[in-house]
Structure 1
Amino acid sequence: MSVSSVKIDPTSRVEDGAVLGEGVEIGPFCTIGANVVLGAGVKLISHVAIAGHTTIGEGSSVYPFAALGFPPQSHHYKGEPTRLLIGRNCVIREHVTMNTGTVGGHMETVVGEGCMFMAASHVAHDCIVGDRVIFANNATLAGHCTVGDNVFIGGLSAVHQFTRIGTGAMIGGMCGVHFDIIPFGLMMEGHPGLRSLNYTGLKRRGLTLAQRRALQAAYRELFYSAGTLAERTERVAAQFGDEVNVMLIVDFVRSAGKRRLTVPVDAVDHVVEPEAA
């Protein structure tokens, strides 16, 4: 690192041991811990606090009053050197919080590349967030959640711990997400179950009409045909095995997590009552 290539406002504090890449800019009143790594071109606008074993990828920007890499909000955390890893070219807006991992989880919280976190959004301990994910204002993840690539989570929405959100899914504003959301699924406020596929997102990603129709047919087979969920899943796999996007859904269902699936309210096996503790 060339010292002359790094700009640090004199009101900021950077502890010994911090690693600053070429072209890093640290604005007024920031605090950077000894175990922090900032990649090339990272910009901290002002009043940013970064602690713990935190790495921020090159080209990312962090706005005032963001707090990154502080201990997880967990009674089980006992000061272990867990990590927060943030990918390249992320935009982290005002008052965003992201915590490090825990021994009981992955030991690290991971955020992918090209993500945008709007004001006051939160990523809790041990979460894994994919690439090109957008959190609107005050969107929050509880611990141990997994979010795929190209997901949008609307403002004031909250995701239950251990929940998985598949790639390309969209969560509307003011939603409480209690259960897993399949890839390309759409959940909207006022609809307690899965509303449909995220057709707008599919078009924006450039899927052809034939690909979108295959996903629609697979969706109907998965949620509205006869048999158990496992049986329906295997029928979808047999019928659409050559459709890469459909198989993302199949693989997601097959690899069931700790939470059950969010299903349409009129699906054949819809459950109204919340999952037992």
Structure 2
Amino acid sequence: MIDPQAIIHPDAKIASDVRVGPWTTIGPDVEIGAGSVIESHVVLKGPTKIGRNNHIYQFSSVGEDTPDLKYNGEPTRLVIGDNNVIREGVTIHRGTVQDRSETTIGNDNLIMAYVHIGHDSVVGNHCILVNNTALAGHVHIGDWAILSGFTLVHQFCNIGAHSFTGMGSAIGKDVPAFVMVTGAPAAAKSINSEGLRRRGYTKTQIAAINRAFKIIYRRGHTVDEALQQLQQMQADEPVVELLIDSLKSSKRGIVR
């Protein structure tokens, strides 16, 4: 299962059925769960914990030190969950002690070619990061978010659950849950109605989310004013709770 030309540190912990391709390098403090496949020419550094059934493609660099100038060699971590696909040339850096000390990737994500995930970032579950998307440090991506190709995300931004970014989007503020944005700088266009349909949201729920979007973006309200109306709406339309939570947690302000 392990190619004889792979270079694996004796302190690495690799499940017995993991496949490792030639010329891959795996350092100490790396743990790889059962059912995973590591293709050729991959570099894995630690402390890094990789869960079960992950597939990491060639020329990816996973668990490297961050180039952030405040990093000074501390033993920070990268934690990757289960069932992720990490395609060619992806770079994922560990955290910094000034923030979480950990970069975290959840389960069932598709991370496409040449994506960069910076230090202390958090990627949820069922996300798709399309080719050449780049996350600066401290970025949080909610579950089921889709970031189209060449999306750029500024540090400390939150991308809400079920949101969608158009190709080439440059994001400098938070994207609320369910919202579709595009442009450089990114602007809110609509809700991600097609994504919601695919995930089983009903027509009634999607209509409620669309009304909430209009309260935020089409009525001239401040965020606080919009929040007041959404909280009144929540009793009859509980589906907007996720949107309310993403507005409340925003620290950088939301894309407009």
TM-score under structure 1 normalisation? 0.89
User: What is the aligned partner in structure 2 of residue 220 from structure 1?
Assistant: 214
Say if 2:171 and 2:185, in contact at 8 Å, map to a contact too. Answer: no
- AA in 2 matched with 1:26: V
Task: Give the stretch that moved more between structures: 230-239 or 151-160.
Answer: 230-239
Task: Give the stretch that moved more between structures: 235-244 or 170-179.
Answer: 235-244
**How many angstroms does 1:234 deviate by?**
1.5
**How many angstroms does 1:21 deviate by?**
1.3
- Report whether the alignment pairs 1:104 with 2:104: no
Where 2:62 maps in the other structure, the secondary structure is strand
Q: Could you tell me which of 248, 253, 256 is aligned with 1:260?
A: 253
User: What is the aligned partner in structure 1 of residue 11 from structure 2?
Assistant: 17
Larger of the two Rg values belongs to structure = 1
User: Residues of 2 paired with 1:57 and 1:43: CA distance?
Assistant: 11
- AA in 2 matched with 1:261: I
Which residues of structure 2 form unaligned runs of 5+?
Answer: none
Task: Give the stretch that moved more between structures: 89-98 or 239-248.
Answer: 239-248
**How many angstroms does 1:190 deviate by?**
6.5
- AA in 1 matched with 2:34: A
User: Residues of 2 paired with 1:228 and 1:185: CA distance?
Assistant: 17
Q: Could you tell me which of 134, 142, 148 is aligned with 2:142?
A: 148
How many pairs were matched up? 256
User: Residues of 2 paired with 1:171 and 1:226: CA distance?
Assistant: 23
Where 1:249 maps in the other structure, the secondary structure is helix
Where 1:95 maps in the other structure, the secondary structure is coil
Show the 5 A alignment for 1:171-250.
171-189=165-183, 192-225=186-219, 227-250=221-244
Structure 1's consecutive aligned runs of 4 or more residues displaced over 6 angstroms after TM superposition are none
- AA in 2 matched with 1:92: I
**How many angstroms does 1:70 deviate by?**
0.5
Task: Give the stretch that moved more between structures: 147-156 or 248-257.
Answer: 248-257
User: What is the aligned partner in structure 2 of residue 274 from structure 1?
Assistant: none
Say if 2:47 and 2:75, in contact at 8 Å, map to a contact too. Answer: yes
User: What is the aligned partner in structure 2 of residue 27 from structure 1?
Assistant: 21
Which residues of structure 1 form unaligned runs of 5+?
Answer: 1-6, 264-277
Aligned-CA RMSD value: 1.3
What CA deviation, in whole Å up to 9, does each residue of 1:110-137 have, x standing for no partner? 0010111111001000001000111111
Show the 5 A alignment for 1:99-178.
99-178=93-172
Residues 41 and 227 from structure 1, CA distance in 2 versus in 1: closer, same or farther, beyond 3 angstroms?
Answer: closer
User: What is the aligned partner in structure 2 of residue 267 from structure 1?
Assistant: none
Residues 20 and 192 from structure 1, CA distance in 2 versus in 1: closer, same or farther, beyond 3 angstroms?
Answer: closer
> What is the identity percentage for the equivalent residue pairs of Structure 1 and Structure 2?
36
User: What is the aligned partner in structure 2 of residue 60 from structure 1?
Assistant: 54
TM-score under structure 2 normalisation? 0.96
Residues 14 and 80 from structure 1, CA distance in 2 versus in 1: closer, same or farther, beyond 3 angstroms?
Answer: same
Say if 1:65 and 1:95, in contact at 8 Å, map to a contact too. Answer: yes
What CA deviation, in whole Å up to 9, does each residue of 1:123-171 have, x standing for no partner? 0000010001111110110000000000111111110000000000011
